[in-house]
Amino acid sequence: MNSDLSFCLFCDIAAGKIPCDQVHSDENFLAFRDISPQAPTHILVIPRQHIGGLTELNQDQAAMAGQLLVLASSIAAKEKLDAPGYRFVINCGQDGGQTVGHLHLHILGGRALGWPPG
Ligand code: 5GP
Ligand code: ZN
């Protein structure tokens, strides 16, 4: 994670300051293709509101978290991933492999994904 607390990469992407390959945009959420795809389809879905990660989620954000899941599943369907299947991933903290400190959900699909994860 970037050590400059005033800087958040995904806030800057959400604000349009840093370009992205946008898949979906609305008042509350943005979805865009991962710059370093780990599968043929690799999309990140973020809330526009800055939330550092899963450990910062609270009851007030329960509706937003549900909307994030529903939106991500609709994007997966639009990307024609329903039939072959796909995976959602939210990495959390150092051991979870989180590298960007702004809550984001990965949509991964387009190939058979291994389990367990590394
Ligand atoms: P994390 O490792 O935190 O779960 O996921 C962060 C993801 O953000 C990584 O998959 C990484 O490739 C992606 N990423 C990092 N910087 C950028 C960027 O500038 N643009 C886009 N589109 N994705 C990025
Ligand atoms: Zn942010």
pLDDT at 5: 57
**Domains with residue ranges and CATH for the chain:** 1-55+87-110 (3.30.428.10)
pTM: 0.96
Task: Give percent of the chain above pLDDT 90.
Answer: 94
Per-residue pLDDT band at 118 (split at 50, 70, 90): confident
Q: Is the CB of 34 under 6 A from ligand 1?
A: yes
Ligand minimally distant from the alpha carbon of residue 47: 2
Does the structure show a pLDDT above 60 at 2? no
Ligand with an atom nearest the CA of residue 105: 1
Catalytically active residues, by annotation: 104
1 has pLDDT over 70: no
pLDDT score, position 4: 57
Task: Tell which residue, 34, 40, 15, has the closest CA to residue 91.
Answer: 34
Pocket lining: 37 vs ligand 1, CB cutoff 6 Å: no
Q: Which ligand 1 atom sits nearest the alpha carbon of residue 101? A: 3
What pLDDT digit, counting tens, does each position of 70-108 carry?
999 999 999 999 999 999 999 999 999 999 999 999 999
CB of 72 closer than 6 angstroms to any ligand 1 atom: no
